[in-house]
Amino acid sequence: MASRHFRTATAVRAAAIAAGVLGLLGAGAAAVAQAPAAPKPQPKPSVYADYHPNLSDMMTMLIQPRHTKLGLGIRARNWVYAGYEIGELRGAFGRIVASMPTYEGAKTAELMVMVDAPIAKVQAAIRAKDARAADTAYGELTDTCNMCHGTQGRTYIDIRVPTTPMYSDQDFNPMR
Ligand code: HEC
């Protein structure tokens, strides 16, 4: 009786171990079945580190908004802001020259040099807080934009003194 009971207990234990092993094997097989067959293709990044804007991009991104904001600052007689923005516009032309040494076979620095004198004139008028001189110099700077566009066969890019306030999220009036 005792030996029979022993054998039964052993058989039960062996069966339990076998079931456990089978269970583990089963779980392993399920995990294998659930694993993706191949890695999913990653979405392409929407920002490319090596993007280089062309001249038209830089004119639209850097020069035009600063030209507009400078005009609005001068119109508001905000000399502190206008003084800041003329420096930014000068810097933006400098960054174009630095990042694009040639444009259609010509040296960009030699093309862009024409803005130096009008920019200096706007800067001097702003420093003097001379409203009339600043308006005149800003008009001359704007003519220079178009002078270059003309010599580059781009008369259709016609820049003017801004007529309506843009950037309604920015107050161009002097601080009180
Ligand atoms: C020395 C030459 C030069 C000067 C100075 C210059 N530009 Fe340009 N600009 C160009 C050329 C060339 C293009 C066309 C680039 C292209 O499409 O390859 C251009 C294009 C533009 C465009 C893009 C047109 C569009 O609507 O997409 C704008 C805007 C512009 N210029 C604004 C200005 C303003 C404002 C100034 C003056 C503050 C200025 N530019 C001064 C040469 C010049």
For residue 174, the number of C-alpha atoms closer than 13 Å in the C-beta half-sphere is 11
Q: 13: pLDDT confidence band, cut at 50, 70 and 90?
A: low
Instruction: Report the SS3 class of residue 153.
Output: coil
What residue owns the CA closest to ligand 1's atom 40? 145
Pocket test for ligand 1, best of 63, 72, 74, 93 (most atoms within 8 A of CB): 63
Q: How far apart are CA 88 and CA 20, in angstroms?
A: 74
Give me the pLDDT at residue 93, please: 98
- pLDDT at position 35: 61
Q: Which atom, in ligand 1's list, is nearest to the CA of 144?
A: 5
The pLDDT, as a whole number, for residue 124 is 98
DSSP single-letter state for residue 71: H
Please list, residue by residue across 115-131, b when 16 or more beta carbons sit within 10 angstroms of its beta carbon and e when fewer do. beebbebbbebbeeeee
Assigned token pair, 109: 């620095």
Contacts of 106-114 with CB under 8 Å at 24 or more apart are: 108/55, 111/148, 111/152, 114/144, 114/147, 114/148
**pLDDT tens by residue, 3-12:** 444 455 455 5
What is the CA(140)–ligand 1 centre distance, in A? 15
State CA 157 to chain mean position distance.
23
| Dist CA 13 CA 8 (whole Å) | 9
Separation of 48 CA from ligand 1 center, angstroms?
24
How many DSSP H helices and E strands does the chain contain?
7, 2
Question: In what helix (H) or strand (E) does residue 104 lie, and over which residues does it extend?
Answer: none
Q: Could you tell me the pLDDT band of residue 25, with boundaries at 50, 70 and 90?
A: very low
The structure's pTM equals 0.78
pLDDT, tens digit (0-9, with 9 covering 90-100), for 90-125: 999 999 999 999 999 999 999 999 999 999 999 999
Ramachandran angles phi, psi of 95, nearest 5°? -70, -30
pLDDT tens readout for residues 43-70: 776 776 788 899 999 999 999 999 999 9
Distance 17 CA to ligand 1 centre (A): 81
For atom 30 of ligand 1, which residue has the closest CA? 59
How large is the average pLDDT for residues 154-173? 94
C-alpha–C-alpha distance, residues 65 and 81, integer Å: 14
